[in-house]
C-alpha cells in the first residue's frame, strides 16, 4: 500500500510540474476589444479659437494626419503621428478624454516639445518605447533638423537625454528611423541599448549605446527590400511599397539574445545576436544572421513577449499572427490571433501593457497613402484594439525565468521524495 502511495505522490508532483511548464506556452486568448476609433484625429486644444486659427493657417489639416505608433504605460495610451504631410500640429501624443466624452490627442510631453522647426523639439516621430523605469525613448526622424533620440522620464516630466545622431550614422537623406526596441538586459540601466530599424533603402539597423552616449549602424542584405514583395494585395486591391527594414523586435531577456527584423516590402523574417551588433565596429554581420522563416504575408510592426511569442500583422489578411520563437518550427508556422477585413486593415504597431493585453493600431495606411480614405465619419479610419493574451513585454525580467525556477524546484521535490522512499 505504501509503495502505491509513494507512486501516486510522485505522479501527482510530476503532473504539477508539467502543468507549470505548460503554462509558459499555453496562453488563453480573449476576444479583441475595440478601445478607440476615429474617422479623423483631433487634439486637446487650449481653446476653440486656437484650433480654428490652426485650421485657417493650415497648421491643422485633419485629413493629413495618420497615427502609426502605439505604446501603453500605466493607464495611458501614447500614439505617434509622423509628419508625412503638412498640417500636423504634433507628432507624439497621449490619448485623453474631453469633458464631453471625446477621445482626443494631447501633445506629449507638451505643445512646445512638438514645435515644428525647433530642432530641440520633436519634429517627426514614427515610433517610441517606454522602458521599465518609465522613460520613453523617442526616435525622432527629423526633417529640416537632424535625426535624434530623446529620452524622457514620464514620472518626473524631465528630458533625461537628447542625442543627435552623427550624419554618418543617421541623416535625413539616407535614414528613416522607423521602429525601436530597448535592450534592458543589463542590471545597470547605464548599460542599456536601443536598436532602431532604418527603413530607407537599402535599410539597416542603428544601435545606440546609453553608457557611451554613442551610436553606430549595421547592415546586411537581409534588411533590404525583396523585389517580389513590393506589391501588397489588400481587400482585392494592389498597393506598391518600396520600404526596407521596418519591423523590429527583441527576444526575451536572458542569454543569447537576438533582434528579429524584417523589411516591410518582404516576406522573410531574420534575426541577429545582440552580442554581434552591440560591437562599436561591425564590418560584416552576414555570418551571424539567421533566416527565421517566410511569413504568411508582408508585415509592419513586430513585438515579442517575455514568454517568447512573436506577434506580427499579416497585412494582406487584415490579421495579427503569433509565432512561438522557442518552438522547433519557423515563422511560416505562425497562426492567426485575430482578424477583421474592415476594422483591422493595416495593423501597424503592437505593444503590451502590464495586464496581459496586446495592443495594436490599425490605420489603413495603404489607403491613406493612396488618398482613398473618406473622412465623413461613416466608418472609422484609425482603430486601437487590445486582446488579452496573458503575456507581458519582452523588457520584463520576471515571468518565464521564474516559472522555470519553480519547475526546477518542483522536479527537485519529486526526486527528493523518490530517493527518500527508495
Q: Read off the pLDDT band of 18 (50, 70, 90).
A: very low
The reply to whether 167 and 58 lie within a common domain is yes
Does residue 15 register a pLDDT over 90? no
So what's the pLDDT on residue 398? 58
Final residue of a structural domain among 247, 270, 295: 295
So what's the pLDDT on residue 322? 98
Q: Read off the pLDDT band of 228 (50, 70, 90).
A: very high
The reply to whether 12 and 74 lie within a common domain is no
What predicted TM-score, i.e. pTM, was given to this entire model? 0.88
So what's the pLDDT on residue 235? 96
Q: Which cell goes with 339?
A: 482578424
- Does any domain span residue 411? yes
- Environment class of 256 (CB within 10 Å of its CB; exposed 0-12, middle 13-18, buried 19+): exposed
So what's the pLDDT on residue 402? 40
Give the residue among 392, 382, 28, 408 at the shortest CA–CA distance from 184. 392
So what's the pLDDT on residue 23? 33
- Does any domain span residue 83? yes
The reply to whether 220 and 242 lie within a common domain is yes
What CATH code is carried by the domain that includes residue 148?
2.120.10.30
The reply to whether 19 and 59 lie within a common domain is no
| Coil vs helix vs strand at 361 | strand
pLDDT tens-digit series, residues 98-148:
999 999 999 999 999 999 999 999 999 999 999 999 999 999 999 999 999
- Does any domain span residue 115? yes
The reply to whether 218 and 286 lie within a common domain is yes
Final residue of a structural domain among 295, 329, 348: 295
- Does any domain span residue 397? no
Over residues 194-216, mean pLDDT? 98
Q: Read off the pLDDT band of 28 (50, 70, 90).
A: low
The reply to whether 98 and 144 lie within a common domain is yes
Final residue of a structural domain among 246, 275, 295: 295
Does residue 42 register a pLDDT over 90? yes
The reply to whether 20 and 139 lie within a common domain is no
The reply to whether 290 and 413 lie within a common domain is no
The reply to whether 146 and 179 lie within a common domain is yes
Say how many Å lie between the first and final Cα of the chain, rounded.
Answer: 14
Does residue 416 register a pLDDT over 70? no
Question: How many domains, the chain?
Answer: 2
State the residue range of the domain holding 409: 1-27+404-422
Over residues 27-53, mean pLDDT? 91
- Does any domain span residue 60? yes
So what's the pLDDT on residue 377? 87
Distance CA(254)–CA(184), nearest Å, equals: 10
- Does any domain span residue 198? yes
Q: Read off the pLDDT band of 29 (50, 70, 90).
A: low
So what's the pLDDT on residue 24? 32
Q: Read off the pLDDT band of 223 (50, 70, 90).
A: very high
The reply to whether 14 and 66 lie within a common domain is no
For all residues of the chain together, what is the average pLDDT?
A: 90
Q: Which of 31-45, 271-285, 392-406 has the highest mean pLDDT?
A: 31-45
So what's the pLDDT on residue 302? 98
Regarding predicted confidence, which is higher, 241 or 29?
241
So what's the pLDDT on residue 312? 98
Looking up cell 539616407, which residue turns up?
A: 174
pLDDT tens-digit series, residues 321-374:
999 999 999 999 999 999 999 999 999 999 999 999 999 999 999 999 999 999
The reply to whether 110 and 179 lie within a common domain is yes
So what's the pLDDT on residue 75? 94
Distance CA(72)–CA(60), nearest Å, equals: 26
Question: CA torsion sign, 200 to 205 to 210 to 214?
Answer: negative
So what's the pLDDT on residue 16? 42
- Does any domain span residue 20? yes
The reply to whether 252 and 134 lie within a common domain is yes
Q: Which helix (H) or strand (E) holds 19?
A: helix 2-23
Mind spelling out the 3-state secondary structure of 58-110?
CCCCHHHCCCCEEEEECCEEEEECCCCCCCCCCCEEEEEECCCCCEEEEECCC
Over residues 15-30, mean pLDDT? 43
Residue 354 CB neighbours (<10 A) = 13
Does residue 150 register a pLDDT over 80? yes
- Does any domain span residue 196? yes
So what's the pLDDT on residue 10? 43
Amino acid at each position: 500500500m505504501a509503495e502505491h502511495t509513494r507512486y501516486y505522490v510522485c505522479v501527482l508532483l510530476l503532473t504539477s510540474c508539467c502543468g507549470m511548464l505548460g503554462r509558459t506556452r499555453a496562453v488563453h486568448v480573449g476576444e479583441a476589444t475595440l478601445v478607440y476609433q476615429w474617422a479623423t484625429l483631433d487634439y486637446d486644444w487650449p481653446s476653440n479659437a486656437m484650433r480654428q486659427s490652426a485650421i485657417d493657417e493650415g497648421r491643422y489639416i485633419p485629413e493629413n494626419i495618420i497615427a502609426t505608433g502605439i505604446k501603453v504605460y500605466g493607464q495611458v495610451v501614447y500614439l505617434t503621428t509622423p509628419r508625412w504631410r503638412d498640417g500636423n500640429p504634433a507628432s507624439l501624443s497621449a490619448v485623453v478624454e474631453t469633458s464631453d466624452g471625446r477621445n482626443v490627442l494631447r501633445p506629449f510631453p507638451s505643445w512646445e516639445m512638438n514645435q515644428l522647426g525647433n530642432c530641440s523639439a520633436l519634429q517627426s516621430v514614427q515610433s517610441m518605447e517606454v522602458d521599465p523605469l518609465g522613460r520613453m525613448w523617442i526616435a525622432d526622424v527629423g526633417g529640416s533638423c537632424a535625426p535624434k533620440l530623446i529620452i524622457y522620464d514620464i514620472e518626473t516630466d524631465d528630458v533625461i537625454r537628447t542625442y543627435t545622431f552623427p550624419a554618418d550614422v543617421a541623416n535625413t537623406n539616407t535614414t528613416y528611423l522607423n521602429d525601436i526596441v530597448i535592450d534592458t538586459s543589463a542590471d545597470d540601466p547605464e548599460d542599456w541599448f536601443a536598436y532602431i530599424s532604418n527603413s530607407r533603402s537599402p535599410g539597416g539597423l542603428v544601435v545606440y549605446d546609453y553608457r557611451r552616449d554613442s551610436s553606430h549602424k549595421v547592415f546586411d542584405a537581409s534588411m533590404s527590400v525583396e523585389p517580389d514583395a513590393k506589391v501588397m494585395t489588400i481587400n482585392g486591391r494592389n498597393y506598391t511599397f518600396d520600404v526596407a527594414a521596418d519591423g523590429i523586435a527583441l527576444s526575451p531577456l536572458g542569454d543569447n539574445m537576438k533582434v528579429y527584423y524584417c523589411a516591410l516590402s518582404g516576406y522573410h523574417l531574420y534575426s541577429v545576436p545582440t552580442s554581434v551588433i552591440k560591437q562599436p565596429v561591425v564590418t560584416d554581420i552576414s555570418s551571424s544572421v539567421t533566416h527565421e522563416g517566410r511569413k504568411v504575408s508582408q508585415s509592419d510592426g513586430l513585438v515579442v513577449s517575455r514568454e517568447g511569442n512573436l506577434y506580427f500583422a499579416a497585412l494582406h489578411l487584415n490579421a495579427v499572427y503569433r509565432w512561438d520563437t522557442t518552438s522547433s518550427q519557423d515563422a511560416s508556422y505562425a497562426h492567426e490571433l485575430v482578424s477583421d477585413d474592415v476594422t483591422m486593415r493595416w495593423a501597424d504597431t503592437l505593444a503590451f501593457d502590464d495586464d496581459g493585453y496586446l495592443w495594436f493600431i490599425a490605420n489603413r495606411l495603404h489607403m491613406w497613402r493612396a488618398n482613398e480614405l473618406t473622412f465623413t465619419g461613416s466608418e472609422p479610419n484609425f482603430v486601437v484594439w487590445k486582446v488579452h493574451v496573458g503575456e507581458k513585454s519582452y523588457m520584463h525580467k520576471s515571468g518565464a525565468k521564474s516559472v522555470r525556477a519553480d519547475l526546477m524546484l518542483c522536479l527537485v521535490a519529486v526526486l527528493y521524495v523518490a530517493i527518500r522512499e527508495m
